[in-house]
Copies of this chain bind each other. A is one copy, B any other.
């Protein structure tokens, strides 16, 4: 019996075990050592078999934990890349209904927003039952990071000099925080120094400054479709025209479609989220990145990189597009809002050749950021608190993604397909054509369920049968209940 035969035999035997539910979805396979002993094979053979199943998308290797059974979503498939013709550039006009949904925060939760309820510490809430359940389910690991961060900000606050309150921070932001950011990006191939960064009030402000710096009213901007609704809002407010480039739920923006658009229209800038884009969770493959950078050079394009989910890769942090930016035309935008806290209101921008304009615009539109908050963050990062938090956060999100995928796989009809991203905060679901998630929004809200309809992620109506579902929160009993209610609403 050849070794090749042995691992193939083992692979088939494991596959049978998985499909026959000897090992169920989410369960851990025996350790390599145990499997060696049990099957009387070498360690190399077991590893070979496990890795082949991993490559087929049936197992998932978790660092220091072993191999786990993934839900077999292959037969569902990810949502198709929408093969619609590109609509000619036009000013963005987002409908009132969509604006209303956006205004409510386009929730990363399916339970009613707790804003103004639970968040007012110590107040009784309308949703006390589910809130109590949720509180119990909040991972202590995750909370430890936030406690450490808050302690660090508190320390920075107390250590301000007597007269610090009389001075604005420098326009580019705290030098210590910029240095920490530069160091982190250098680990991922970027050559930026602290002086190339400008601190902002969050990624949305970074995107705003980027668009203000490189576009004039009436200019055409290319965006992913589906893509981040915040960018559509910005384009509307700044009087810019949009051209939506189809994006796959797995591999992101279709660069061939982008090239056709560039040939047809004079496009000034392209907003792209190379890592775990919202709403799909797609990650741009290396080849697409190369194409994108080449097209940017050829057509003199500003590439606005939304890197907000970059730190939330379950299996490591992908290098940003900026790392390969030879001609200084990538404007890197990000913040701590998704990876750490939405309440510190600190983001950053590395604007390449537009650095000077961006710094000027930041000064003119908002003067400065809070020094003590920046210093607290800088210490938190320097002391290793952020990396520790990220490790826990990524592991927790990965588990929550699996819980959600398993739940949907088990309880929702098979004709619904969805992406299974390797980072970020949400799945993208494609429901049968007849279903309109925007119409279902009100009905779901009436039953205490908040959804994020596909319509939010485009100025076209291509995604009315789509839905973003977040796995930011643990799948508590009340969230499972909400998913069941939602399925009922959507089926009507």
Contacts and interface: CB of A to CB of B under 8 A. Distances in A.
Sorting the interface of chain A by its residue count into under 10, 10 to 19, 20 to 34 or 35 or more gives: 35 or more
Interface in A441-484: 472-473
Nearest to A209: B365
Interface in A191-214: 201-202, 204-205, 208, 212
A98 B441 CA distance: 53
B150 A163 contact: no
A341 interface: yes
B170 A116 contact: yes
Given A364-B230, A367-B202, A143 B122 contact: no
A345 B199 CA distance: 14
A310 to B, nearest CB: 19
Given A366-B204, A373-B370, A167 B342 contact: yes
Contact of A367 (B169, B204, B370): B204
Given A205-B365, A370-B370, A371-B119, A154 B164 contact: no
Given A168-B342, A370-B344, A370-B373, A163 B114 contact: yes
B343 A160 contact: yes
A137 B135 CA distance: 49
A364 B372 CA distance: 25
Contacts of A343: 160, 164-165, 167-169, 370-372
A75 B9 CA distance: 105
A121 to B, nearest CB: 5
Given A233-B364, A237-B365, A373-B370, A121 B342 contact: no
Contact of A167 (B113, B175, B205): B113
A119 B167 contact: yes
A164 B201 contact: no
A37 to B, nearest CB: 44
Interface string A418-452: 00000000000000000000000000000000000
Interface in A103-160: 103, 105, 108, 113-116, 118-122, 134-135, 138, 143, 146, 150, 153-154, 157-160
Given A138-B162, A150-B160, A343-B160, A167 B364 contact: no
A489 interface: no
A168 B105 contact: yes
Contact of A121 (B118, B160, B360): B160
A485 interface: no
Contacts of A115: 167-170
Nearest to A367: B204
Nearest to A232: B364
Contacts of A157: 150, 153-154, 157
A242 B334 CA distance: 35
Nearest to A425: B166
Interface string A170-184: 110001100000000
B472 A166 contact: yes
With most chain B CB atoms within 10 A of its CB, the pick from A175, A212, A217, A373 is A373
Contacts of A205: 365-367
Interface in A386-434: none
A361 interface: yes
A340 interface: yes
Closest 4 CB pairs of A and B: A165-B341, A233-B364, A121-B159, A205-B366
Given A166-B472, A233-B364, A345-B368, 11 more contacts: A113-B167, A114-B163, A119-B371, A121-B159, A154-B154, A165-B343, A205-B365, A205-B366, A230-B364, A237-B365, A343-B371
